[in-house]
Amino acid sequence: MSVEETMNSIVMKDRLQTDASPEPTPNDFRIRWSLEPFAATDMVDAWLDLGSEMQSFYADRIRADVETQHEILHSRSPAELARIQAAFFRRAVSDYRAHMGRVTEILDHCWFPRAGQPKT
């Protein structure tokens, strides 16, 4: 018996017998992947809102860093330098708190939609 005949016999012997078109029974478990109409669009909008917030925050923080560096370079005494650094850290903490509040609000709307707001 050649290798080709051996392979054909194995394939024919081990082949499962199936119906041409099996009818599903009510007890069959089937997974169906479907999104609500426009749900994917709403999810993309939510991600874009989150990305926009992040980019705006980063741009504002970099702008504040540059302003602070400019003030530090023009400071004339150690006391003035300490004042500039303290103001910078105070503003940074305030900005980060506000940013986390906005991000939390965006994520809150994503997970718990309000009346009239599309589900995302």
- In this prediction, residue 40 carries a pLDDT of 66
Is residue 107 situated within a structural domain? yes
Give 41-98 pLDDT, tens digit per residue.
Answer: 777 788 888 999 999 999 999 999 999 999 999 999 999 999 999 999 999 999 999 9
Is residue 27 situated within a structural domain? no
Range of the domain at 70: 36-120
Cβ–Cβ under 8 Å, residues 49 and 104: no
CA–CA gap between residue 8 and residue 110 (Å, rounded) = 56
Q: Which residues of 76-111 are buried (b: 16+ CB within 10 A; e: fewer)?
A: eeeeeeeebeeebeeeeeeeeeebeeeeeebeeebe
What's the total number of domains in the chain? 1
- In this prediction, residue 110 carries a pLDDT of 75
- In this prediction, residue 42 carries a pLDDT of 72
- Whether this prediction's pTM lies above 0.85 is answered by no
Is residue 7 situated within a structural domain? no
Is residue 6 situated within a structural domain? no
Considering the chain, what percentage of its residues have pLDDT values greater than 90? 45
Is residue 26 situated within a structural domain? no
